[in-house]
């Protein structure tokens, strides 16, 4: 009866996506004054969720990283968000990055709310509500 609960998998994927996107946004903000740095972003969760057949392999950054395991499961990839418009070649807009950070926090909060609601439904159905 309670096997293969996709709602939990979706909530986990949404929270993971939010965490990874927040890391990319914070890296962008940290490099706001770095000449030549281009902002990066991760595709929207909805787009990645719709393309679940496509898997992006993790990238090893040094010898022995990931222990040679070909881990899959991450369905979103980083990309350069927009070309530079600043004279020093840096394309970061702190205002835009802050708005993205708020959007990502809302996405994470939504994932946690879905998880909590689903747990509540299961507890109620088991008579432990």
Position 71 scores a pLDDT of 41
Residue 19 belongs to a domain: yes
Residue 34 belongs to a domain: yes
Position 30 scores a pLDDT of 95
pTM: 0.73
Neighbours of 24 (CB within 10 A): 19
Q: What does the pLDDT average to over 109-125? A: 93
pLDDT digits (tens, 9 = 90+) for 58-97: 666 666 666 544 444 555 677 787 766 667 778 888 999 9
Give the range of the structural domain holding residue 87, as residue numbers without chain letter.
Answer: 6-125
Residue 1 belongs to a domain: no
Position 70 scores a pLDDT of 43
Q: For the chain, give the percent of residues with pLDDT over 70.
A: 73
Task: Tell me how many domains the chain contains.
Answer: 1
Give dist(CA 22, CA 97) in Å, integer: 10
Position 24 scores a pLDDT of 94
Q: What does the pLDDT average to over 12-40? A: 92
Residue 109 belongs to a domain: yes
Residue of 42 and 65 predicted with greater confidence: 42
Q: Which residues contact 28 (CB under 8 A, 6 or more apart)?
A: 37, 39, 40, 41, 92, 97
């Amino acid at each position: 009866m309670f096997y293969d609960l996709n709602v939990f998998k979706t909530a986990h994927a949404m929270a993971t996506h939010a965490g990874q996107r927040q890391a990319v946004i914070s890296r962008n903000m940290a490099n706001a004054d770095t000449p030549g740095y281009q902002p990066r972003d991760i595709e929207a969760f909805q787009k990645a969720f719709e393309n679940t057949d496509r898997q992006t392999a993790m990238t090893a950054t040094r010898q022995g990283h990931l222990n040679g395991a070909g881990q899959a499961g991450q369905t979103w990839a980083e990309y350069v968000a927009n070309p530079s418009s600043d004279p020093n070649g840096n394309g970061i807009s702190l205002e835009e990055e802050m708005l993205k950070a708020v959007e990502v926090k809302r996405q994470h909060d939504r994932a946690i709310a879905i998880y909590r609601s689903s747990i509540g439904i299961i507890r109620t159905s088991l008579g432990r509500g």
